[in-house]
């Protein structure tokens, strides 16, 4: 693969992964399996490693993921809540074990824990009393859901005994038991409400309810598995878990201390089937190095610890009947087919739907109405159809054919060359697209409009108050306060945030517009290169492709956006509302050229600044952030707990290491 092909492939993968991130964490409606997502991520990681010149601090490979709800107060985590790397086979687990042995060159033990399938939470206690409960969010900060968590009976409000630290943090997983999940979905079905796909979605959705009394009715549960920062002062992870149980936390009795990979494999073999007897969902096993000192030596990558891995169980399969195929329209207009099934018990839950992804998948499966199909579920939220049993097919059964018109607005669908999905091109008149674009516009990394979430957007749309993003800036207090669940304070909060959003810089406004393929980094590059929205709209496609990381696909999408009169009207109205559509020279991105021509790798943790803050400092002083070490790396900005493999590679290539203080002196 040459450099130009790599640039295009990397940009496409980033755009695809960002879209799946949005569906998973924001819309809670993913369309691909965890395994398929992981394969895309691994492909992108490999390409970024081979072509470090295309490094991007906003790449999905740097992202932990996000479940943030802007209707909650945001709290920064004292210690980042990172995700875990996944493995799916004994061979991959053996590779992990060998890497640990190579890096430690000493004896070690593993702790095996069931991986509960819920939503992550971090609790802090002061003098034995619960002070705060915060969701994982984007890993750096999350939603303060303390009032909701306090309704969960299995979580202590006051710690037991008197042997606990004054300042104590613990992390765990909030889950919904199967029996509660089934009853909740039964009630929702009776009320004509959409059903939750599985207990994980139900737990996550419950924790984001704004009424804590409603949360209490959902009967959530919680299990705890980690004490970051080692507040208990023990030498091992195992001892910390035992002590956490003593002060009142629910710690699984099914954890096991293992003296080697063979014992780990025995544990996995047992729970491959025994997990179905548990009252809550599990989707794998987490394997951690037991010694906290050895964990410190092994360190972290940008998104996950090197001393732990999640083994995902193999998918379970079941046979059932295909009743019908329905179609959903997303924010970008992509139409996703969903199979409606005769309910069947699969991996501990009653399955009624399965993802079909796109028209090609339907064609490859050769699906017919009423087919008997084999359904598979591993880590997926929505299971998938593996195959149809043609031997049981009725001779008069009609083949399933992909629709030709949008199910929401009846606009004829289009399919772009080289893409699998069909799209509804009516992006300014199709209700799901309109609401999806508004949700994107108000999101944290776009206009960051506090007090608005998907439910509120739907409420505004249903009441005819908002039909496009520019309508947000025409809202009045007297229009908002009569709305359901709104109130005077909520209305004031929304209006103040809308006022504050007028100060959002041009690059983020450009990202907020939701132009297809224009993610955060692309928007930043475009804004820096063109200076203002008018020049961008008039720029020829050939000139657009000369901008850093802008290929033909992105350039064509940008040109199409500005050829639509409805889009131009939205921009004009946003201008009238005082939204910033040009890069201010006083706010220029480049503060100096002191680091011009330098490629810098950041590794470890730092005392004065976060890694993200340091990355920004590198960029605004003309430098380039890179994720992997190569002969072209100028410096390694090294903090505490730098990964041993990076340190070895730096030494072998004789790349100088600089401290945080050294770096700050360089840019003074």
Single out the residue in 586, 621, 640 at which a domain terminates: 586
Residue 67 has pLDDT above 60, yes or no: no
The whole-angstrom separation of Cα 139 and Cα 148 is 20
Q: What is the mean pLDDT of residues 486-495?
A: 90
Instruction: Look at residue 187 in the predicted model and tell me its pLDDT.
Output: 73
593 domain residue, yes or no: no
Token pair, residue 416, equals: 């772009």
What pLDDT sits at residue 193?
A: 55
Kind plus residue range of the DSSP H or E element containing 329: strand 316-329
Residue 566 and residue 604 in one domain? no
Residues 305 and 349 in one domain: no
Name the active-site residue from 9, 49, 102, 115.
Answer: 115
Last residue in a domain, options 312, 340, 374 = 312
Final residue of a structural domain among 542, 557, 586: 586
Higher-confidence residue of 578 and 520: namely 578
Across 352-358, average pLDDT = 86
The residue ranking higher by pLDDT, 523 or 585, is 523
pLDDT > 90 in the chain, percent: 41
> What CATH number is attached to the domain comprising 255?
3.30.470.30
Q: Which of 45-59, 211-225, 513-527, 583-597 has the lowest mean pLDDT?
A: 583-597
- For 105-157, write each residue's pLDDT tens digit: 899 999 999 999 899 999 999 988 889 999 998 888 888 998 888 888 888 88
Q: Which helix (H) or strand (E) holds 370?
A: none
Give yes or no: residues 437 and 408 share one domain: no
Q: What is the CATH number of the domain that holds 623?
A: 3.40.50.10190
Identify whether residues 85 and 189 lie together within a single domain. Answer: yes
CA–CA distances in Å: residue 222 to residues 69, 120, 128, 249, 272: 21, 9, 18, 9, 22
The parent domain of residue 552 ranges over: 431-586
Q: 115-133: string of b/e by CB count within 10 Å (b at 16+)?
A: bbbbbbbbbbbeebebebb
pLDDT tens per residue across span 206-236: 888 877 778 888 889 999 999 998 888 899 9
pLDDT at 266 over 90: yes
Q: Which residue has the higher pLDDT, 584 or 361?
A: 361
User: CATH code at 546?
Assistant: 1.10.150.20
Residue 416 pLDDT > 60 = yes
pLDDT category of residue 316 using cuts at 50, 70 and 90: confident
Q: What is the pLDDT of residue 27?
A: 52
> What's the confidence (pLDDT) of residue 29?
63
pLDDT band at 25 (very low <50, low <70, confident <90, very high): very low
pLDDT at 66: 42
Do 518 and 575 fall into the same domain? yes
Residue 64 has pLDDT above 50, yes or no: no
Q: Is residue 236 part of a domain?
A: yes
Mean pLDDT of 378-402: 83
Q: Which helix (H) or strand (E) holds 422?
A: strand 422-423
Residue 190: pLDDT band (50, 70, 90) is low
Q: What is the pLDDT of residue 472?
A: 96
Q: Greater confidence, 17 or 374?
A: 374
401: nearest Cα among 316, 325, 313 = 325
Give me 291's structure tokens.
């010694």
Residues 418 and 437 in one domain: no
Distance CA 397, CA 395 (A): 6
Is 115 designated active site?
Answer: yes
Q: What is the CATH number of the domain that holds 26?
A: 1.10.287.610
Average pLDDT over residues 466-478: 94
304 neighbors 82 (Cβ within 8 angstroms): yes
Q: How confident is the model at residue 69 (pLDDT cuts 50, 70, 90)?
A: very low
pLDDT at 547: 79
Q: Is the pLDDT of residue 377 over 60?
A: yes
Domain assignment present for 74: no
């Amino acid at each position: 693969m040459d450099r130009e092909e790599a640039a295009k492939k990397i940009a496409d993968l980033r755009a695809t992964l960002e879209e799946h991130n949005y569906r998973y964490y924001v819309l809670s409606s993913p369309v691909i399996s965890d395994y398929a997502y992981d394969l895309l991520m691994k492909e992108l990681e490999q390409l970024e490693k081979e072509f470090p010149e295309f490094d991007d601090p906003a790449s999905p490979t740097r992202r932990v993921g996000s479940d943030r709800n802007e209707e909650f107060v945001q709290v920064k985590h004292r210690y980042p809540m990172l995700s875990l790397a996944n493995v799916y086979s004994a061979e991959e687990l053996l590779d992990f074990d060998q890497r640990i042995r190579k890096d430690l060159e000493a004896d070690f033990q593993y702790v095996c824990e069931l991986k509960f399938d819920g939503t992550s939470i971090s609790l802090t206690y002061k003098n034995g009393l619960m002070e705060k409960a915060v969701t994982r969010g984007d890993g750096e900060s999350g939603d303060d859901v303390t009032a909701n968590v306090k309704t969960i009976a299995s979580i202590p409000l006051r710690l037991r005994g008197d042997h606990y630290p004054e300042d104590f943090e613990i992390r765990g997983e909030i889950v919904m038991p199967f029996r509660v999940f089934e009853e909740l979905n039964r009630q929702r079905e009776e009320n004509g409400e959409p059903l939750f796909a599985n207990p994980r979605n139900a737990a996550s959705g419950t924790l984001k309810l704004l009424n804590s009394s409603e949360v209490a009715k959902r009967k959530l549960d919680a299990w705890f598995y980690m004490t970051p920062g080692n507040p208990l002062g023990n030498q091992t992870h195992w001892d910390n878990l035992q002590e956490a149980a003593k002060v009142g936390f629910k710690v699984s009795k099914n954890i096991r201390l293992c003296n080697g990979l063979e014992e780990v494999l025995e544990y996995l073999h047992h729970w491959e089937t025994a997990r179905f007897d548990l009252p809550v969902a599990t989707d794998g096993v987490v394997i951690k190095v037991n010694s906290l000192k050895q964990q410190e030596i092994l360190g972290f990558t940008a998104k996950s610890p090197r001393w732990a891995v999640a083994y995902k169980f193999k998918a379970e399969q079941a046979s059932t009947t295909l009743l019908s195929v329905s179609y959903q329209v997303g924010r970008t207009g992509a139409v996703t087919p969903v199979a409606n099934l005769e309910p069947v018990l699969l991996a501990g839950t009653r399955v009624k739907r399965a993802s079909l992804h796109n028209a090609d998948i339907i064609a490859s499966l050769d699906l017919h109405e009423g087919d008997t199909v084999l359904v598979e579920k591993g880590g997926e939220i929505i299971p998938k159809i593996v195959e149809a049993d043609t031997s049981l097919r009725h001779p008069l059964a009609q083949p399933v054919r992909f629709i030709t018109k949008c199910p929401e607005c009846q606009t004829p669908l289009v399919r772009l060359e080289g893409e699998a999905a069909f799209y509804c091109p009516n992006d300014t008149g199709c209700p799901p697209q309109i609401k999806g674009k508004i949700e994107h516009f108000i999101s944290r990394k776009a206009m960051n409009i506090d007090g608005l979430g998907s439910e509120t957007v739907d409420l505004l749309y249903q009441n005819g108050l908002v039909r496009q993003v520019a309508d947000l800036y025409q809202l009045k207090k007297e229009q908002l306060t009569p709305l359901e669940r709104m109130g005077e304070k909520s209305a004031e909060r929304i209006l103040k945030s809308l006022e504050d959003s007028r100060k959002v810089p041009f690059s983020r406004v450009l990202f907020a517009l939701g132009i297809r393929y224009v993610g955060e980094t692309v928007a930043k590059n475009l804004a820096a290169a063109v200076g203002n929205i008018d020049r961008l709209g008039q720029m020829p496609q050939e000139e657009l492709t000369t901008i850093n990381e802008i290929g033909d696909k992105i350039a064509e999408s940008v040109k199409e956006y500005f050829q639509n009169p409805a889009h131009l009207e939205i921009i004009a109205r946003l201008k009238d509302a005082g939204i910033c559509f040009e890069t201010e020279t006083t706010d220029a991105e480049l503060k100096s050229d002191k680091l011009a021509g330098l490629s810098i790798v950041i590794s470890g943790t730092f005392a004065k600044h976060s890694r993200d803050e340091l990355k920004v400092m590198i960029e605004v002083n003309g430098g380039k952030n890179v994720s992997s070490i190569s002969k072209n790396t100028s410096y390694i900005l090294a903090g505490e707990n730098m990964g041993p493999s990076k340190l070895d590679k730096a030494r072998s290539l004789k790349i100088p290491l600089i401290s945080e203080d050294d770096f700050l002196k360089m840019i003074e």
